[in-house]
Chain A
């Protein structure tokens, strides 16, 4: 069974930093593109970042402040967030899948339960 478990969410002051983790199990983690999607309280879904072997993509709203990475030996995806702003307050979801290759595109097919990041003084 595919499982994604996010952790690391916390209350942080504006300008601060935080690292989120996503522990994956039930599939061959190293073989899959991974993504982060967030949802501000009471709002819709917003894509944040996607990491593949050949590329990394970021939303303009986080570019230069957030860094996505992975540690395949630990089956873990990370999101390092810095220069945090109030508008980064959201539940952050880790999701499996993404990107286009060989004429096919792939959707985020499994999602974790999310971890809450609150940016406030």
Chain B
């Protein structure tokens, strides 16, 4: 199985800060990586797919990069609405695997 290691597990930042979350795969997954945002009590929502493609309708302050085994999710200017837990997921092969999540808090 492909292991997905996400860091940090918790992140506290101020409104307007640039925030970066990292996800590492235990083997190459090409660009078959998605990022999800999950707000408290809600279902996950896709933000980014194919490592760097922004889901239609999502704010442009979210961006993704990387390929192979190293990936990042960046929020260019943190907003109060971004309070959530973020997960990466590889869909290169079954079993699909997710990172353990990064909880983003607003200072």
Give the interface of A toward B (CB within 8 A). Answer: 35, 37, 44-47, 50, 57, 59-60, 93, 98-100, 105-109, 111-114
Contacts and interface: CB of A to CB of B under 8 A. Distances in A.
A103 to B, nearest CB: 10
B2 to A, nearest CB: 11
Interface residues of B, number: 25
A44 B43 contact: no
Contact of B96 (A47, A93, A111): A47
Given A50-B96, A59-B95, A100-B32, 5 more contacts: A45-B101, A47-B98, A100-B91, A107-B89, A111-B44
Given A45-B87, A105-B32, A107-B34, A112 B43 contact: yes
A117 to B, nearest CB: 15
B95 A44 contact: no
Nearest to A94: B43
Interface of B: 32, 34, 36, 38, 42-46, 49-50, 55, 87, 89, 91-101
Determine which residue in A108, A112, A114 has the highest number of CB atoms from chain B within 10 A of its CB, and name it. A108
Contacts of A59: 95
A99 B38 CA distance: 23
Nearest to B99: A44
B94 A45 contact: no
Contacts of B91: 98, 100, 105-108
B95 A45 contact: no
B62 to A, nearest CB: 15
